[in-house]
């Protein structure tokens, strides 16, 4: 069959352009990417052959890095699963992972030197073009008869032709560029393999093709670190394992290594990272935990092993109590998996509790990275929701930095029976909201719920340690002296009765109600929602994401002490000569309330016209 030519997807073209012209000093990472792919390919075949004996491989799995100064090549071969024709086209010509676009943008910015992270974005293969002017991939998919050869100079496209000279797995050959010849040294390659791939579970051998009597040498230790005794493991070993096994680039924030014995026997070597991965909040972010059965890799895609709200975890779990031949589908429902999951969740939570108690500053670092994700557990994990609430931190109107609910309660006055909160985009924005005004003057602390996830757990959580959560943008609020307040409010309500009635009829169904406020001090108006209605901020989020067609009508509160409201209260709204003035002021007030909540105006042009008229009046 003749050669077929394919074009790279546009994004691949961009990546290739960047890597080919790169001046990155960490070019050596290409080898890590290729060894990691080769190791994955071996893992995949080992797992597939457990379920399909036709695929079983008589040889031991191995990865071979061979080089030739004469030919100016480095080859990485494996006896893993291999790739068929369509996989070669799809895997080595298109990009499937989300987030890659952001990575390309970062790379295009010359000051960002994060080529190191290429593997995380599912484009590690292309890193080879930093050192090679041409790459060929000879591959045969396990179970198939025909093999294929992929080749490309990394400029625009690639060729594919049938080539069955190769028997099993893949051989990737890099034809080195002139400025990359220094990689063709045994010592150099040996060091790179040790540096990046010492913990790869399959052996990596090094071979000098030009030397006749040269024997393959194993260059990595291929340790299953988790099987070693904790006492014999140094911090550095854990750190190396962490970076090499998960292609992580930070240092672990916490290491949880336990050999668990009891009804279920399993080992966990789990890391909590110290940096936030770029795709943490993406809906398709996978939990990065690999499942092994007696050192045999089974899957890195077992959804039930770790709850989604702990998707920041990395590492491995190895259990002898799971059958090696279990299918992926059965695995999801295996009770052993559920037990391991409960155990891991407990361990992580207890580690976090310990840290919060003993080293709050360090805990805060964790919280800033992963708090928004952990909080998903408040509404997803019924058993642990109270503990996760206890571990949660919020910004507050009274304190700099973060505060826990326990700390908030400690600071509350005796009369306060509720935990006040307001939700919105950011602390600085919320501090300026009109609903905050009286809380600030009455010296009442309000917590700021600024993560979108807060909107989802709060409706289902009634209280924390018997203190109810109270949104300050919903329903009525009682300030300190209830009796005085009540009397004052009744008098105010009476003296503004006519105005509220007028406004109600003027606004019609644009508002749910109009009432005199006791929460405003400097703003003339604000919106509040009914106690039983959805929070205003949540409604806004849902509307923005098109989960709601309409924003519901709100209660408009008016400030009886504001000059504008006092003016409106005095003026005769029935007098025809006042008609336009009263109408304009009333419309402007409603527009203000909408703007303050970030609700788009029905007629922004009209608002601007009126504003301009007022400005003109004030300067004429
Ligand atoms: P990633 O490994 O993160 O998916 P890469 O760009 O490194 O991204 O590789 C793309 C894909 O090509 C891999 O997901 C895999 O399907 C395939 N691949 C690469 N190298 C090999 C190999 N040696 N054997 C089998 N498949 C491979």
Strand ranges inside 405-475, DSSP E = 418-423, 447-449, 463-464, 467-471
Summarize pLDDT for 378-425 with one digit per residue, the tens. 989 999 999 999 999 999 999 899 999 999 999 999 889 899 999 998
Q: According to DSSP H, which parts of 449-545 are helical? A: 454-457, 482-495, 497-507, 536-544
Question: Would you identify the CATH topology of the domain 363-471?
Answer: Rossmann fold (3.40.50)
For residue 80, with 0-12 CB atoms within 10 Å meaning exposed, 13-18 middle and 19 or more buried, which class applies?
Answer: buried
Whose alpha carbon is nearest atom 10 of ligand 1?
91
pLDDT of residue 24: 66
Query: Cα(98) to centroid of ligand 1, in Å?
Result: 16
Query: Cα(75) to centroid of ligand 1, in Å?
Result: 15
Q: Mean of the pLDDT values across residues 73-94?
A: 95
pLDDT of residue 99: 67
**Position in ligand 1 atom list of the atom nearest CA 119:** 3
For residue 367, pLDDT over 80 is answered with: yes
Whose alpha carbon is nearest atom 8 of ligand 1?
122
Question: Would you identify the CATH topology of the domain 4-218?
Answer: Heat Shock Protein 90 (3.30.565)
Q: Mean of the pLDDT values across residues 100-115?
A: 69
Q: Mean of the pLDDT values across residues 601-609?
A: 90
pLDDT of residue 325: 67
Whose alpha carbon is nearest atom 14 of ligand 1?
91
For residue 215, pLDDT over 80 is answered with: yes
Q: Can you tell me the distance from the alpha carbon of 31 to that of 19, in angstroms, rounded to the nearest whole number?
A: 14
Mutate to test the pocket of ligand 1, among 77, 121, 125, 126 (most ligand atoms within 8 A of CB): 125
Q: Lowest mean pLDDT: which of 100-114, 145-159, 192-206, 578-592?
A: 100-114
Q: Can you tell me the distance from the alpha carbon of 480 to that of 485, in angstroms, rounded to the nearest whole number?
A: 8
Strand ranges inside 79-210, DSSP E = 132-140, 147-152, 157-162, 169-176, 204-208
Query: Cα(283) to centroid of ligand 1, in Å?
Result: 22
> 166 or 139: whose pLDDT is higher?
139
Q: Mean of the pLDDT values across residues 112-123?
A: 68
Summarize pLDDT for 450-502 with one digit per residue, the tens. 998 998 899 889 899 999 999 999 888 777 655 556 777 777 788 899 999 99
Summarize pLDDT for 162-200 with one digit per residue, the tens. 998 888 899 999 999 999 999 999 999 999 998 888 888
For residue 434, pLDDT over 70 is answered with: yes
* CATH, domain range 225-359: 3.30.230.80
For residue 29, pLDDT over 90 is answered with: no
Q: Mean of the pLDDT values across residues 6-12?
A: 90
> 225-359: same fold as 4-218?
no
Q: Mean of the pLDDT values across residues 3-22?
A: 87
Query: Cα(100) to centroid of ligand 1, in Å?
Result: 15
Ligand 1: residues with CB < 6 A are 33, 37-38, 41, 78, 80-83, 91-92, 119, 122-125, 170
Query: Cα(326) to centroid of ligand 1, in Å?
Result: 25
pLDDT of residue 480: 62
Q: How many CB atoms lie within 10 A of CB 178?
A: 7
DSSP type of residue 475: S
For residue 202, pLDDT over 70 is answered with: yes
Which segment, 233-237, 476-480, 609-613, is predicted with the most confidence on average?
233-237
Mutate to test the pocket of ligand 1, among 9, 15, 40 (most ligand atoms within 8 A of CB): 40
Query: Cα(57) to centroid of ligand 1, in Å?
Result: 20
Mutate to test the pocket of ligand 1, among 43, 91, 126 (most ligand atoms within 8 A of CB): 91
* Domain chopping of the chain, boundaries: 4-218, 225-359, 363-471, 486-528+550-619
Mean pLDDT for the chain overall:
89
Question: Would you identify the CATH topology of the domain 486-528+550-619?
Answer: 1.20.120
| Backbone φ and ψ of 585, nearest 5° | -60, -45
pLDDT of residue 405: 97
Query: Cα(86) to centroid of ligand 1, in Å?
Result: 13
Question: What is the pLDDT confidence band of residue 1, given thresholds at 50, 70 and 90?
Answer: low
**Position in ligand 1 atom list of the atom nearest CA 44:** 25
pLDDT of residue 23: 65
């Amino acid at each position: 069959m003749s050669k077929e030519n394919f074009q790279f997807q546009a994004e691949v073209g961009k990546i290739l352009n960047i890597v080919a012209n790169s001046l990155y000093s960490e070019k050596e990472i290409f080898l890590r990417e290729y060894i990691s792919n080769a190791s994955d390919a071996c893992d995949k075949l080992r797992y597939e052959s457990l379920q399909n004996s036709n695929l079983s491989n008589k040889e031991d799995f191995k990865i071979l890095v061979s080089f030739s100064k004469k030919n100016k090549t480095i080859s990485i071969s494996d006896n893993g699963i291999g790739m068929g024709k369509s996989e070669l086209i799809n895997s080595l010509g298109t990009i499937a992972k989300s987030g890659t676009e952001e990575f390309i943008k970062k790379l295009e910015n010359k000051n960002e030197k994060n080529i190191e992270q290429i593997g995380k974005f599912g484009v590690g293969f292309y890193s080879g073009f930093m050192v090679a002017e041409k790459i060929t991939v000879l591959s045969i998919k396990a179970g198939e008869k025909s093999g294929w050869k992929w080749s490309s100079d990394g400029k625009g496209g690639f060729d594919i032709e049938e080539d069955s000279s190769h028997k099993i797995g893949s051989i990737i050959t890099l034809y080195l560029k002139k400025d990359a010849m220094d990689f063709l040294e045994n010592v150099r390659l040996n060091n790179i393999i040790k540096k990046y791939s010492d913990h790869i579970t399959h052996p990596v051998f090094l071979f000098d093709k030009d030397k006749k009597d040269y024997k393959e040498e194993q260059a990595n230790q291929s340790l299953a670190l988790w099987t070693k005794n904790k006492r014999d493991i140094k911090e550095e070993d854990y750190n190396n394992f962490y970076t090499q096994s998960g292609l992580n680039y930070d240092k672990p924030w916490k290491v949880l290594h336990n050999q668990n014995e009891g009804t279920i026997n399993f080992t966990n070597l789990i890391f909590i990272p110290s940096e936030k991965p770029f795709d943490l909040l993406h809906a398709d972010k996978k939990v990065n935990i690999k499942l092994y059965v007696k050192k045999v890799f089974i899957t890195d895609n077992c959804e039930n092993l770790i709850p989604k709200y702990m998707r920041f975890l990395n590492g491995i779990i190895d259990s002898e109590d799971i059958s090696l031949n279990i299918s992926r589908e059965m695995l999801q429902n295996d009770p052993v998996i559920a037990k391991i999951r409960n155990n891991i969740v407990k361990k992580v939570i207890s580690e976090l509790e310990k840290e919060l108690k003993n080293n709050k500053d360090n805990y805060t670092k964790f919280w800033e990275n992963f708090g928004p994700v952990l909080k998903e557990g408040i509404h997803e994990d019924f058993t642990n929701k109270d503990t996760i609430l206890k571990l949660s931190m919020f910004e507050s109107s009274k304190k700099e930095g973060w505060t826990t609910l326990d700390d908030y309660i400690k600071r509350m006055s005796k009369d306060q029976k509720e935990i006040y909160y307001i939700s919105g985009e950011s602390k600085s924005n919320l501090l300026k909201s009109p609903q905050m005004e009286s809380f600030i003057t009455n010296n009442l602390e309000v917590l700021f719920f600024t993560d979108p996830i807060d909107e989802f757990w709060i409706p289902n959580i009634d209280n924390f340690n018997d203190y109810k959560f109270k949104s300050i943008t919903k329903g009525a609020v009682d300030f300190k002296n209830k009796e005085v307040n009540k009397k004052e409010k009744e008098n105010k309500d009476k003296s503004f009765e006519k105005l509220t009635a007028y406004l109600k009829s003027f606004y019609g169904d644009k508002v749910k109600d109009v009432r005199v406020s006791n929460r405003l001090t400097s703003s003339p108006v604000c919106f509040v929602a009914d106690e039983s209605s959805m929070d205003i901020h949540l409604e806004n989020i849902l509307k923005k994401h098109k989960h709601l067609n309409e924003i519901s009508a709100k209660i408009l509160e008016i400030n009886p002490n504001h000059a504008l409201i006092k003016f409106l209260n005095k003026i005769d709204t029935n007098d025809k000569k006042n008609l336009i003035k009263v109408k304009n002021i009333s419309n402007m007030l409603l527009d203000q309330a909408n703007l303050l909540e970030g609700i788009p105006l029905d007629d922004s042009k009209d608002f601007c016209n009126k504003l301009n008229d007022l400005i003109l009046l004030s300067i004429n």
